Structure 1
Amino acid sequence: MPPVRRSLVRVLPLLLSALLAGCGAPAPRDTAEREVREAVAAWARTPPAQLAGIPLEDWAYEVSAVRRSGGAATVRAELRYRLGGHDAAAAVSAREVSLAREDGRWRVTGDRAAPGALPQLWDQGPVTVVRGTHSLVLGAGRDPATLSAIAAEADRAVPAVSAAWPGPWAGRAVVLVPGSLERMAQLLGRPVAEYKGMGAVTTGRVGAAPAPADRVVVNPEGWAELSQEGRRVILAHEVTHVATRAATTATTPLWLSEGFADWAAYRGTPATPEQAAPALARAVRRGEVPGELPRAQDFAFGGDPEALARAYEGAWLACRTVAGRWGEAALVDLYGRAGREPWPVAVRGALGIDPQELTKDWQETLREQFR
């Protein structure tokens, strides 16, 4: 024992010195890096001119890395901000900030999306802001009259959606209008082909965790081709996704999510199944009654447009069938349950039947509607 004890006595001071060195304060950054970080922080306190009019709150850059080369520097940072009155939590964007050293001081010369990160709308040019009663419309490269018309549609959509979805939601919509289809695809980080022919899409995280408000992103080319009624339906559909986002999870069938959005959009209108589901009507009259409710892959864009139309129309008619036979409250209950329970349990709990019976009821409705 004594030899061991003596060994410990000799080693402990060395270990203690190492631990103290490792646990002490980190080595201070060099003066130039500190000045770069301070320049970014000072610049962030005054958002760029192209953001004027946007109700920004909590605008801040958290610097994660600094690279310097002579009189130039590049900073990787996380931008966090909220749209006042709309975002419940901060939106986050990975950014790359450029600086140059002039007259002995660092000055920010550029700010852009970091490599691999999605751009923000203002990266595509100056932003025009239109505030509606229930909406905030931000456009880049769009005339104010177009943006005002979109805000008016959003203001009509919000109360209509609230009447269809009694669950809690913000009761507001944020709409982004890029300058072109290509710019829309850039914002969403997807191929252009996925959005051709679409009027608008919605972005957002599913589930009830705190998250920024969803953004409805308008395809200006698809929007221009829509009738007034088509624009009303499309925007109400997308706003319904905003309203139901907290109740939507990975377990929610895609047909239910899309069908409910269409059901809410058409609710209270005189549209008949013949008018709103022409592709499905043609298929049923050919004897092609679907063997099952639309699958997730049936909603993929870029394929057969007739098949895609049948998927959306079939989903709408499935929700319309539930609302017609069990009541609107049962449809809302089914939606809520589907986001937190296994599908068979959700169907039995909301409707008192099993999923196979629901499919048969839907198929029978299709035969009755499109004889």
Structure 2
Amino acid sequence: MTALLARHSAAVLSHSAAAFLDDVDTAPAAAGFRQRQQAEIASLAQVPLQSWRYAVSAPVTDPSASAATAKRVGAPVLIVHVSLFYALTLVDPQPTSRDLWWTFVQRDGRVLVAGDDDMAELGGASWTGPWDYGPLVAARGTSSLVLGHPQDSGQLARLAALVDAAVPVVTGVWGTGWVRHVAVLVPASDNELTALAGQGSALTDVSAVTVFDAQDPASGTRYGQRLVLNPHALARLTATGLRIVVAHEITHIASAAGTGQASPRWLIEGLAEYVANLGSTQPVTVAAGELRTEVAAGRLPAALPTDAQFAPGSARLAQVYEESWLACRLIAARVGQSGLVRLYRLVGASPDVAIQALEAALHRVLHESTASFTMQWRGYLTGQLG
């Protein structure tokens, strides 16, 4: 089994379809799995991989699952939890890992892999990557890797250019302490979007989302960070809107290690909006149009946004993002971009609860309390939008 996984890994890295399929069961019971494996190796052809390795995590000990699978394939089987470790070239400084549940079968003295879904109904669903949803095409830039499907191939180079333009802007604010290469995934369907982003219906109101596979609890480093673009966004966003969305999400990727449990959502989203709007020719009254309508009518927010106000589907979601942006814009106006980043890092590194962490950071950077800053922010909203 170990030798089989090593051969399978080597076949992926060498783009050898014949070697990849040589260890896949050819029996009729495994026809669907073999077809998916054939499609996967073809889809991986354009994906720049730094590494790809399978490792055995543990065998499945549930006798009922093994018995049912053995009956299905007509031979002795062993279902194994397999870890896939892979890294995209330049994007992933270290490999990320994903879980697979593979069925191994013995036929004529050979061990073959015969399935990946025999544990799906028992909580062992194998991970699916973008290469499992049809042929992939890639566009690469100086700081970007964009993976999509043939129907969107005309858009991928444009997205790569947007990423290449945004990375220096984000780095100019946050600093160089991040990988500075970004992978963008462009799913072709809502099903693929849900699978890649893992958030289901929560994505209907957003144009893009940043996801990751795991986080180092000590350093805060996130593994497998990807910018997943809602396929409907390509059709509905203006050029300016798409640029802002891309820069916003890249800011999340850059600042991930500096984001902690104490970080309030308004600070996380506000920093991303602040960076994304740098250099924009849109007046504040246009960029924060929804909030301007409320402020002009005398409806000022009483407090900084709570995390609950960012819930998907919220009636005031646009206003909450605008409030967050202008809070960070005010901080930068007072203490500069470096001061804004310093405050962000102080909150993210704090072991305190969110309220105490923010209070302490505001005292250190702005020399005032949360209540005092909130009063200034409310006045700032009136001055900018009233």
Q: TM-score range by the shorter chain?
A: 0.7 to 0.9
Per-residue deviation, 1:44: 2.6
2:295 alignment counterpart: 284
The one-letter code sitting in structure 1 at the alignment partner of 2:318 is A
CA contact (8 A) 2:266 2:305 kept: yes
Residue in structure 1 matching 2:75, options 58, 71, 78: 71
CA contact (8 A) 2:173 2:338 kept: no
2:313 alignment counterpart: 302
Call closer, same or farther: CA 1:109–1:148 in 2, change over 3 Å.
farther
- In 1, the alpha carbon distance for the partners of 2:127 and 2:295 equals 42
Per-residue deviation, 1:65: 1.3
1:62 alignment counterpart: 55
For 1:112-123, what aligned pairs fall within 5 Å after superposition?
Answer: 115-116=124-125, 118-123=127-132
Identity %: 34
* Matching of residue 38 in structure 1 with residue 3 in structure 2: yes
CA contact (8 A) 1:88 1:210 kept: no
CA contact (8 A) 2:248 2:272 kept: yes
* Matching of residue 96 in structure 1 with residue 101 in structure 2: yes
The one-letter code sitting in structure 2 at the alignment partner of 1:86 is V
CA contact (8 A) 2:2 2:55 kept: no
The one-letter code sitting in structure 1 at the alignment partner of 2:234 is W
2:202 alignment counterpart: 194
Question: Larger Cα Rg: Structure 1 or Structure 2?
Answer: 1
- In 2, the alpha carbon distance for the partners of 1:327 and 1:225 equals 34
Call closer, same or farther: CA 1:209–1:257 in 2, change over 3 Å.
closer
Deviations 1:143-175 (A, max 9, x none): 322111111111111111112222511111111
Call closer, same or farther: CA 1:213–1:116 in 2, change over 3 Å.
closer
Deviations 1:114-169 (A, max 9, x none): 63454221222222222111111112454322111111111111111112222511
CA contact (8 A) 2:183 2:227 kept: yes
- In 2, the alpha carbon distance for the partners of 1:77 and 1:230 equals 41
Call closer, same or farther: CA 1:359–1:118 in 2, change over 3 Å.
farther
* Matching of residue 314 in structure 1 with residue 329 in structure 2: no
1:354 alignment counterpart: 369
1:271 alignment counterpart: 282
- In 1, the alpha carbon distance for the partners of 2:76 and 2:235 equals 44
Query: Which range moved further: 57-66 or 279-288?
Result: 57-66
1:177 alignment counterpart: 186
Per-residue deviation, 1:199: 1.5
The one-letter code sitting in structure 2 at the alignment partner of 1:78 is S
Deviations 1:158-214 (A, max 9, x none): 1111122225111111111111233111222222x3111422110135673444241
TM-score scaled by length of structure 1: 0.83
Call closer, same or farther: CA 1:321–1:210 in 2, change over 3 Å.
closer
- In 2, the alpha carbon distance for the partners of 1:160 and 1:172 equals 13
Task: Provide structure 1 residue ranges, at least 5 long, that are not aligned to the other structure.
Answer: 1-35
- In 1, the alpha carbon distance for the partners of 2:101 and 2:9 equals 13
CA contact (8 A) 1:86 1:174 kept: yes
Call closer, same or farther: CA 1:326–1:92 in 2, change over 3 Å.
same
Q: How many aligned residue pairs are there?
A: 333
CA contact (8 A) 1:174 1:213 kept: no
* Matching of residue 53 in structure 1 with residue 68 in structure 2: no
Deviations 1:1-40 (A, max 9, x none): xxxxxxxxxxxxxxxxxxxxxxxxxxxxxxxxxxx44333
* Matching of residue 161 in structure 1 with residue 160 in structure 2: no
Call closer, same or farther: CA 1:225–1:247 in 2, change over 3 Å.
same
The one-letter code sitting in structure 2 at the alignment partner of 1:65 is P
Per-residue deviation, 1:221: 0.7
Q: State the secondary structure of the residue aligned to 1:217.
A: strand
Residue in structure 1 matching 2:88, options 67, 83, 87: 83
Q: State the secondary structure of the residue aligned to 1:325.
A: helix
- In 2, the alpha carbon distance for the partners of 1:270 and 1:55 equals 36
- In 1, the alpha carbon distance for the partners of 2:373 and 2:6 equals 58
Q: State the secondary structure of the residue aligned to 2:11.
A: coil
2:33 alignment counterpart: none
CA contact (8 A) 2:101 2:125 kept: no
1:229 alignment counterpart: 240
Q: State the secondary structure of the residue aligned to 1:62.
A: strand
Deviations 1:293-341 (A, max 9, x none): 111111111232xx00011000001011111122222111111111113
CA contact (8 A) 1:203 1:215 kept: yes
CA contact (8 A) 1:72 1:100 kept: yes
The one-letter code sitting in structure 2 at the alignment partner of 1:278 is G
Per-residue deviation, 1:262: 0.6
Q: State the secondary structure of the residue aligned to 1:157.
A: helix
Cα RMSD (Å): 2.2
- In 2, the alpha carbon distance for the partners of 1:110 and 1:150 equals 36
Residue in structure 2 matching 1:241, options 226, 242, 252: 252
The one-letter code sitting in structure 2 at the alignment partner of 1:243 is A
The one-letter code sitting in structure 1 at the alignment partner of 2:325 is W
- In 2, the alpha carbon distance for the partners of 1:287 and 1:72 equals 73
Deviations 1:96-118 (A, max 9, x none): 22445455423334456963454
For 1:321-360, what aligned pairs fall within 5 Å after superposition?
Answer: 321-341=330-350, 342-360=357-375
